[in-house]
Amino acid sequence: MSTSPQESLDLNEEEQLLYELLEGCFEQERKRVAKLLADKDDSNLFGQTEYDLRDRVHALGAKALEVVADERQKKGRLRAS
């Protein structure tokens, strides 16, 4: 059974902090994705657009990892490599 997007998740303190830190970059990326998809007509929705969308999602994941690593490093939980 899946949860609906409207259901709130109970987050612990660290989860809430990360949620708030990630909010801005996720919102920016959501706008980019919406623009990417809106700019394509039905015949161009798949194919190259799929690759462009995948690249955007991968970039978002990389940004999320960077934000979390930076936060943990500030707290001394992550040593620089």
Per-residue pLDDT tens for 18-68? 999 999 999 999 999 999 999 999 999 999 999 999 999 999 999 999 999
> Could you identify the residue written with the tokens 């612990």?
12
**7 vs 41: which has the higher pLDDT:** 41
Res 6 pLDDT > 80: no
pLDDT at 9: 79
Rg of the chain over Cα atoms, rounded to whole angstroms, equals 16
pTM, full prediction? 0.72
CA angle 14, 81, 66 (to 5 degrees): 40
Whether residue 63 is contained in a domain is answered as: yes
**Cα separation values, 47 from 17, 38, 64, Å:** 37, 15, 26
Listed in sequence order, the DSSP H helices in the chain are 13-38, 48-74
What distance in Å separates the CA atoms of residue 72 and residue 57, rounded to the nearest whole number? 23
Whether residue 4 is contained in a domain is answered as: no
Whether residue 7 is contained in a domain is answered as: no
The boundaries of the domain holding residue 70 are 13-74
Whether residue 40 is contained in a domain is answered as: yes
Whether residue 5 is contained in a domain is answered as: no
- Counting the structural domains of the chain, the total is 1
